[in-house]
Structure 1
Amino acid sequence: MSDDDHTSPSTLLDVAREAGVSPSTVSRILNGTAKVSDDKRQAVMAAIARTKFAPNLMAQGLKKGRSQTIGIVVQDISSPYFDETLRGVDDGLKGTGYASVIVSGHWNAEEEADRIRLLLARKVDGIILLSGRMSDETVLQFSGQRPIVSTGRSLNTRSALGFKLDNEYGAWMAVRHLIELGHRRIAFVSGPANNIDAEERAAGYRRALFEAGIELDPKLMVEGNFHENSGLLAVSHLFDTGQQFTAVFAANDQSAYGVRLCLYRKGIRVPDDVSLVGFDDLPGSSYTTPPLTTIRQPLYDMGLVATNALLRLIHGEPVQAQVPPLELVVRETTRRR
């Protein structure tokens, strides 16, 4: 075999031979028109990887009227919450020939809409909307131009799909865990006002107390903003106003980190003096001191499932997708009274 044989690029025929299918099947899988089994599709994608075949994606996109790009709207590019979900999106795109364009909506409905218009102007083939404050009606209007998959809402049309986790139930599990450990004075650091996730988690907090026959004390509820500083400021406020509590439920892990710092600065031991529960199970929550008890959201899985669902919508294929449920992860920041 000559040196040229080692360096010459592989062809569509090489992929077909490697996968044991016809060249036309490889071509149709690449351009999204093939109706084949998942096993056959995976065999072709594996053959592409082994042969290092590099299709001319630009030419393919022009031929079928696609850009081979998807748009992703996040709310805060600095948040580890969205980092974990984007990791799932990135893995979902591997081997598909699609690239992503990421923009931020900054928890502002008008800005989210502007960013989607920008993505549509760039001719993306579909959009993943990670949470946000746009109305369902607005999302459905945009889906008339390109398929959209969104987290944090319930949608199910031919061009729009939503995945919504039960935030109220997750918060209920967190507070119920504290109640079962004997806590009655449970402070709550909420999320920001007019945020649906925050509202649902507050509802779960109230429901758990009500079902346990514990009177709700509004003075133990302090509004936060899902960032670390709000957890620190919220607990400082509780101390400044003389509130008595033996546990804190923070509406997300980032707020819980701030709570933990404030308690540390006050010389209060966790969990010996005060128990603490978060919500999200961010990667860093296993490494706090002590490791944080929290509600695990399947963040990576949501990104992966949303990406697979969007690609199916783009190709006109049926979508049946589910994400794992929320679960309580008990670590070392909670203990019995």
Structure 2
Amino acid sequence: MDVARLAGVSPSTVSRILNGTAKVSDDKRLAVLAAIDKVSFAPNQMAQGLKKGRSLTIGIVVQDISSPFFDETLRGIDDGLKGTGYASVIVSGHWNAEEEADRVRLLLARKVDGIILLSGRISDEAVLGFSSQRPIVSTGRALHTRTALGFKTDNEYGAWLAVRHLVELGHRRIAFISGPTNNHDADERLAGYRRALAESQIDIDPALVVEGNYHEASGMMAMNRLFDTHQQFTAVFAANDLSAYGARLALYRKGIRVPDDISLVGFDDLPGSSYTTPPLTTVRQPMYDMGRIATQALLRLINGDTVQGEIPPVELVVRETTRRVR
């Protein structure tokens, strides 16, 4: 072994120094460190992982690999893994509880050291059951056990911020393009919409609430349904930015100007939202931070450490798609 030869010690001494288990003189320790620097030596992380019974791999269950929302979270996860020796395996659950559970079982069979579950429809009980085999960190749910942890965005508050902004601009007829049914995030954003209107003593008109599915096409179709039923409104709050993009296209095709004729607000603050025409007012979710913090938390759970962490709160980002009602 080059490091041992250059330092004048045995290979086992080098190994024990690297593992922090050797009781040696400062001269020997400095000699080993100098030799490592000279030969640009790096410990074989896979070998070290095998000695500890670990694969140095984490699994990630994402719902829609093509979604820019998950892109930002995955970027945070990737940065969180840098320098740790860990690699990731990414699978998709496609917003289907049975498929998500199958993907978790697949990752467990591949002996991953832990799993990050990005949103999804699998139950909390199922997550806790799987966490008895490997630590799990999940976004979009509130969990806190020795092997399972959740980080959750305050969706209701974010929606409340969006609608309050429109109310403060003088809007009273505010349409809402919701998310899909049986989706916790969508339910909470609908609750925030209703709470903001109720607190402002504005009657809630069910005809102004149209269901979408978080995709661009559903935003466009929801807007067209509002037009087809001859609803009167001066502002639109879309439950996510992709739906707002579709709504914006429908407004453009009707010759309706944003924000001169109708104000528009989204939710997420995707990277593209600052480059739409005009740039989109939206509620910013800390997607990148969520990925990075979830990764750090999972690595601590894998090591058996206690975990305490919080994600930054949502915030309203006012750009150019909203203005005071005329």
**Fold similarity call, TM over 0.5:** yes
- Specify which of 14, 19, 31 is matched with residue 27 of structure 1: 19
Q: SS at the partner of 2:276?
A: coil
Normalising by structure 2, we get a TM-score of 0.89
- Specify which of 249, 252, 257 is matched with residue 264 of structure 1: 252
Runs of 4+ in 1 over 6 A off after TM superposition: 48-51
Partners in 1 of 2:90 and 2:37 — Cα distance? Answer: 26
Q: SS at the partner of 1:245?
A: coil
Cα distance, 1:54 vs. partner?
A: 3.5
What is residue 252 of structure 1 aligned with on the other side? 240
Confirm or deny that 1:335 pairs with 2:326: no
Normalising by structure 1, we get a TM-score of 0.86
Cα distance, 1:158 vs. partner?
A: 0.6
- Specify which of 143, 154, 164 is matched with residue 176 of structure 1: 164
CA 1:149–1:28 in structure 2 vs 1: closer, same or farther (change >3 Å)?
Answer: farther
Partners in 2 of 1:184 and 1:50 — Cα distance? Answer: 71
- Specify which of 67, 82, 86 is matched with residue 94 of structure 1: 82
What is residue 126 of structure 2 aligned with on the other side? 138
Partners in 2 of 1:162 and 1:49 — Cα distance? Answer: 41
Is the Cα–Cα contact under 8 Å of residues 183 and 247 in structure 1 kept in the other structure?
Answer: yes
Partners in 1 of 2:3 and 2:85 — Cα distance? Answer: 16
- What whole-Å deviation, never above 9, does each CA across 1:71-124 have from its counterpart, x for those lacking one? 000000000000000000000000000000000001111110000000000000
Cα distance, 1:309 vs. partner?
A: 0.2
- Specify which of 159, 182, 200 is matched with residue 188 of structure 2: 200
What is residue 117 of structure 2 aligned with on the other side? 129
CA 1:186–1:78 in structure 2 vs 1: closer, same or farther (change >3 Å)?
Answer: same
Q: Radius of gyration: which is bigger?
A: 2
Q: SS at the partner of 2:55?
A: coil
Partners in 2 of 1:144 and 1:242 — Cα distance? Answer: 54
Cα distance, 1:56 vs. partner?
A: 1.9
What is residue 312 of structure 1 aligned with on the other side? 300
What is residue 322 of structure 1 aligned with on the other side? 310
Partners in 2 of 1:184 and 1:283 — Cα distance? Answer: 30
Partners in 2 of 1:97 and 1:316 — Cα distance? Answer: 18
What is residue 74 of structure 1 aligned with on the other side? 62
Cα distance, 1:62 vs. partner?
A: 1.8
What is residue 100 of structure 2 aligned with on the other side? 112
More off after superposition, 94-103 vs 314-323: 314-323
Partners in 1 of 2:5 and 2:68 — Cα distance? Answer: 43
CA 1:26–1:173 in structure 2 vs 1: closer, same or farther (change >3 Å)?
Answer: farther
Gap runs ≥5 in structure 2: 7-13, 22-35
Amino acid at match of 1:303: G
Pairs aligned (count):
304
Please, what is the CA RMSD of the aligned residues? 2.1
- What whole-Å deviation, never above 9, does each CA across 1:180-226 have from its counterpart, x for those lacking one? 00000100000000000000000000111111111111111000000
Partners in 2 of 1:297 and 1:261 — Cα distance? Answer: 23
Gap runs ≥5 in structure 1: 1-8, 15-21, 30-47
